[in-house]
Structure 1
């Protein structure tokens, strides 16, 4: 797949673009989203969407991160308009995982010039700093998660969880939203967000509860390699991988149905 780096963003351009997706990953896996979320992003590219995945380094100032990634995205988008003849009237969607959801919510609230046809929010969480530390420890087994946390002083996130909710309630401008919650995800706070967004844009919020866990969007989709002798361990590993990627495929299809809805426009609302 031909990833391009443009102003620090990782970009995929399909031959006939039908839309643009601005992707922001979760805390501590966002430094290389074209690697950590490769399968999901390349799938969406194959469906005709320009992918602009903006890396970021996590700090406690989430408002500053939101402003920085938006600036970087806008620079990359301008390059695509000017140098690669990308049409200027294509719909633009935000897509975030975990902390990336909070950043898209801040972008959609704090910057009035931002226009989005919708946001896709996977495994939203809005923890306070003291609650996020166990989360960082839990995620420490995933590559690339440890390298930044030791340098960050412990304080509260800016904005705090309470202030984030107030900002969204008063200022969030994106009407159409898809929220995905995974069944085995105790880090997820999508339910409270869904209630908040329904008050802002009644009838415009699609919620889906899918099989999987907080790390499901990170599936890489690499082919299972068998050695010369196919053992029982190989068989178990193959079955495990097949089941894991069934969960990711369900995420992919849910996103595509939401992006290209057939009547009725909204997916069925689950009973959470």
Structure 2
């Protein structure tokens, strides 16, 4: 499988896809998700899911971004179906978001008519612009000049509480994530869809999903040093990322051996 660019998104397609995962990343790393989230997304594709990773540039208008990334995603589906790359008539579609990507999937599921088998929302945060954009707080704007996201954090919560249409959700938060707001989101979604929302707390930080695999090249003879290197790679460098991978794949397919 190789990454290919289609309708403004980056796409990985296994030979016989069993589902489609639409991925949206965090605000400052979303411009090249096929690079910044490469390992995690390729692991999902290896389990048989077509991955559509849509890049975006963060602005204050999050509703507009949500509409644009959905338009790009639908363009990908149209092109894949026209070329008969997606041959099965029905494939379940899942949203997968990290950080700001969670908010965008929540807005998509609230403001637009979409069919989703479920959403996976990792490290959700819903901060005001002054808290989310480092330089904003350095300026003393007049009260008439209000710098804020659209919708604002309060408006976002109200939209989710009243309009969010995706019943099945997996929420993931990490133990050392100081900007995570998943617990509050869980309460909102549980009220809307009782018993359909699962939350997992995993070891890691806000940037755990960005972890990349590191190739350890052993010498001609496998030495004790090589064994230590493999152990460091397996147990330390991306143990947390592997835990996340397993939870995602288990939720997507509870019968999966992942």
The TM tier, using the shorter chain, reads 0.7 to 0.9
Task: Provide the residue aligned with 2:25 in structure 1.
Answer: 25
Q: Is 2:246 the partner of 1:245? A: no
Task: Provide the residue aligned with 2:173 in structure 1.
Answer: 181
Q: Is the 8 A contact 1:4 1:10 kept in 2?
A: yes
Counterparts of 2:18 and 2:230, CA distance in 1: 37
CA change 1:165–1:239 in 2 (3 A) is same
Moved over 4 A (4+): 134-137, 235-238
Counterparts of 2:154 and 2:126, CA distance in 1: 9
Question: Alpha-carbon deviations, 1:191-222, whole Å to 9, x = none?
Answer: 00000000000000010000000000001112
**In the TM superposition, what are the counterparts of 1:216-255 in structure 2 within 5 Å?**
216-224=208-216, 239=232, 242-255=235-248
Offset of residue 238 of structure 1: 7.4
Counterparts of 2:136 and 2:2, CA distance in 1: 32
Gap runs ≥5 in structure 2: 138-144
Counterparts of 2:46 and 2:218, CA distance in 1: 28
Question: Alpha-carbon deviations, 1:113-134, whole Å to 9, x = none?
Answer: x000000000000000111134
Counterparts of 1:220 and 1:110, CA distance in 2: 34
Q: Is the 8 A contact 2:121 2:172 kept in 1?
A: yes
Question: Alpha-carbon deviations, 1:17-73, whole Å to 9, x = none?
Answer: 000000000001000000000000000000000000000001010000000000000
Q: Is the 8 A contact 1:94 1:120 kept in 2?
A: yes
Offset of residue 154 of structure 1: 8.0
Question: Helix, strand or coil for the counterpart of 2:64?
Answer: helix
Question: Helix, strand or coil for the counterpart of 2:21?
Answer: strand
Task: Provide the residue aligned with 2:162 in structure 1.
Answer: 170
**TM-score if structure 1 supplies the norm length?**
0.83
Q: Is the 8 A contact 1:23 1:51 kept in 2?
A: yes
Counterparts of 2:197 and 2:174, CA distance in 1: 17
Question: Helix, strand or coil for the counterpart of 2:175?
Answer: strand
Question: Helix, strand or coil for the counterpart of 1:23?
Answer: strand
**In the TM superposition, what are the counterparts of 1:124-163 in structure 2 within 5 Å?**
124-134=124-134, 155-163=147-155
Cα RMSD (Å): 2.6
Counterparts of 1:41 and 1:136, CA distance in 2: 32
Q: Is the 8 A contact 1:122 1:180 kept in 2?
A: yes
Q: Is the 8 A contact 1:81 1:88 kept in 2?
A: no
How many residue pairs match? The answer is 243
CA change 1:190–1:119 in 2 (3 A) is same
Counterparts of 1:136 and 1:81, CA distance in 2: 44
Question: Alpha-carbon deviations, 1:150-209, whole Å to 9, x = none?
Answer: xxx981000000000000011000000000000000010000000000000000001000
Q: Is the 8 A contact 1:185 1:212 kept in 2?
A: yes
Counterparts of 2:126 and 2:68, CA distance in 1: 19
Task: Provide the residue aligned with 2:142 in structure 1.
Answer: none
